[in-house]
Structure 1
Amino acid sequence: MQVHTLDKAGIINELNIGSGICHAVHQGRRADFSLLVALFSNDVRDNTPVELIEQPQTTDELLRERFELAAPQSLRNDQSSYAVSARQAELFHHGGLASAKLCHYLTPEVLTYLPEDTQDLPEDVYLNLSGHERRHLAVKSPPKTLPYDLYNKLTTAYRHDQLRAQT
Structure 2
Amino acid sequence: MKNVNSYRAFAHVDAEKWTIVGYARKSITKEDDSARHRLLTSRITKLKTKLLCGKVFVSPFSNSDTEFEKRDRNAQASKFIESLKCDGTMEASETRMVHLAAIDYAGLLPIWRTCDHFKHKCVKEIVIDKGHRVEMIPRRRLLKDDKTLQLFRCRIKAVNRSN
TM-score range normalised by the length of the shorter chain: under 0.3
Q: Greater strand percent: which structure?
A: 2
Greater RCO (Cα-Cα under 8 Å, separation 6 or more)? 1
Name whichever structure is richer in helix by fraction. 1
Normalising by structure 1, what TM-score?
0.25
